[in-house]
Amino acid sequence: MTVFDRLVGQEDVESELTAAATAARRGVGEMGSSMTHSWLFTGPPGSGRSVAAQCFAAALQCTSDGIPGCGVCHACTTAMAGTHGDVRQVVPEGLSISVKEMRAIVQTAARRPSTGRWQIVVVEDADRLTEGAANALLKVVEEPPDRTVFLLCAPSVDPQDISVTLRSRCRHIHLVTPSADSIAKVLRERDGLDPADAQLAASISGGHVGRARRLATDLNAKVRRRDALDLAVAALRPATAFAAAEELVRSADAEAKEMSAARDEQETEELRTALGAGGTGKGAAGALRGSAGVLKDLEKRQKSRATRTGRDALDRALIDLAGLYRDALAVAWKSNAAANHPDMADRAADLASRTTPEGLLKCIEAVLECREAITVNVKPQWAVDAMVASLGDAFREPFSHTRG
């Protein structure tokens, strides 16, 4: 078993990264066609792009004599656990990665490795780089230190996700959406789930391994998905549409608070302790009083992180909703395409019977426009309210009553 076994349905990617890690061993600091200093991992949500980057980092640091990425040596285990001293993972806490954060990362990247073969920087969600941060990263990517490797992760190579110049300096690795069968196999063999539960969770996860696991094991995740899909019915009646929209946004905020509460409390307590809270020595109280600015900065970062988490949760719900309208469209067109929500076949058929394919396309467009509005910082409640108004209109237009 190697570290790459954590990837699901990515055999070609595993082969390419293993070959690169093997080539890197032949001469640390010597780059060739198989190995380079800068990599860009892209793929749809859930494909495992950040997992692939982490696995590659472990393979590059691996100290075993066999195939790189043995998964059992100290370098592999610490790299996969996120505790390796020469593997730095950059995960945006808020909505973006600032130029200040990136400059600090660049300084770290300039150091020589302390224990490993390479100094490795993994930038998750590189699409969240501000323009200034991208420019700061570009400078070091163009002239990287001999023993430094950058692993960037982004949804795609679209200029909206990653700058053209930065993309041109990286070797591109594209991951595909894992099949439902491959995800179900992971849930059965690694998580010990019942085959039927594993298959259902895999089929409704949208190709996202982590989400499939949550849908199979977390009751709250199941309830949130059901509530998101209920909006399609609620939007048909003006009396319930906007209340359902408000509940959808409230649910996303509640999920964000639930996910952040324990972490925020721990971070705040650790910082207060470091600043002298609870101390009895001379000056301890004064030191804590003088640290108000530091605590305020932490609260600001936590608030930004909660905002991002809430928007991510809302986006997942919107993707589910768009998938249901897509299923209804497939029914209307008598398509044999695999359903996004096979357990909601009756609801998809009902929606298809209530309007035309054009109306269903308008529904999908309304959901996509809502997602886009939220990404450009429109208040989520306003964006969702506008969406449900459009959804209702798609079922109330005259042509929707002429289906034979």
* Separation of first and last alpha carbons in the chain: 58
Q: Which one of 42-46, 245-249, 287-291 scores highest in mean pLDDT?
A: 245-249
3-state secondary structure 318-360: HHHHHHHHHHHHHHHCCCCCCCCCHHHHHHHHHHHHHCCHHHH
**Could you tell me the CA-to-CA distances from 378 to 53, 190, 306, 317, 383 in Å, in that order?**
32, 41, 16, 17, 6
| pLDDT classification of 350: cutoffs 50, 70, 90 | very high
pLDDT in tens, 306-323: 777 888 889 999 999 999
| CA dist., res. 37 & res. 166, Å (int) | 13
Strand-pairing partners, residue 38, are 150
**What is the average per-residue pLDDT within 49-60?**
95
Q: Is the pLDDT of residue 358 over 70?
A: yes
pTM reported for the whole predicted model: 0.75
Instruction: Produce one character per residue of 190-212: b if its CB has 16 or more CB atoms within 10 Å, e if not.
Output: eeebeeebbbbbbbbbbbbbebb
In this structure, of 65-74, 163-172, 185-194, 294-303, the range with the lowest mean pLDDT score is 294-303
Tokens representing residue 291 in the block: 């640290």
Q: Is the pLDDT of residue 28 over 60?
A: no
Q: Percent of the chain, pLDDT > 70?
A: 87
User: 11-174 domain in CATH 3.40.50.300?
Assistant: yes
| CA dist., res. 91 & res. 309, Å (int) | 13
Report pLDDT for 399.
47
Q: Is the pLDDT of residue 29 over 50?
A: no
| CA dist., res. 121 & res. 253, Å (int) | 31
Report pLDDT for 262.
65
Residues 6 or more apart whose CB falls under 8 angstroms from that of 178 comprise 8, 9, 10, 46, 47, 48, 207, 209
**What is the average per-residue pLDDT within 46-55?**
92
3-state secondary structure 258-309: HHHHHHHHHHHHHHHHHCCCCCCCCCHHHHHHCCHHHHHHHHHHHHHHHHHH
Amino acid at 289: R
Q: Is the pLDDT of residue 263 over 80?
A: no
What are the residue boundaries of the structural domains of the chain, listed by start?
11-174, 240-273+300-395
| pLDDT classification of 391: cutoffs 50, 70, 90 | very high
Q: Quick check: helix, strand or coil at residue 232?
A: helix
Of 16, 114, 110, give the one whose Cα is nearest residue 59: 16
In this structure, of 216-220, 228-232, 247-251, 254-258, the range with the lowest mean pLDDT score is 254-258
**What is the average per-residue pLDDT within 343-358?**
95
Q: Is the pLDDT of residue 294 over 60?
A: yes
Place of tokens 């992971």: 186
User: 240-273+300-395 domain in CATH 1.20.272?
Assistant: yes
pLDDT in tens, 201-228: 999 998 888 889 999 999 988 999 999 9
Tokens representing residue 400 in the block: 């929707």
Tokens representing residue 54 in the block: 């982490």
**Could you tell me the CA-to-CA distances from 99 to 129, 137, 318, 377, 393 in Å, in that order?**
8, 9, 31, 20, 44
Q: Is the pLDDT of residue 264 over 70?
A: no
Report pLDDT for 359.
95
| CA dist., res. 182 & res. 205, Å (int) | 12
| pLDDT classification of 286: cutoffs 50, 70, 90 | low
Higher pLDDT, 199 or 309: 199
In this structure, of 239-243, 269-273, 313-317, the range with the lowest mean pLDDT score is 269-273
Higher pLDDT, 276 or 62: 62
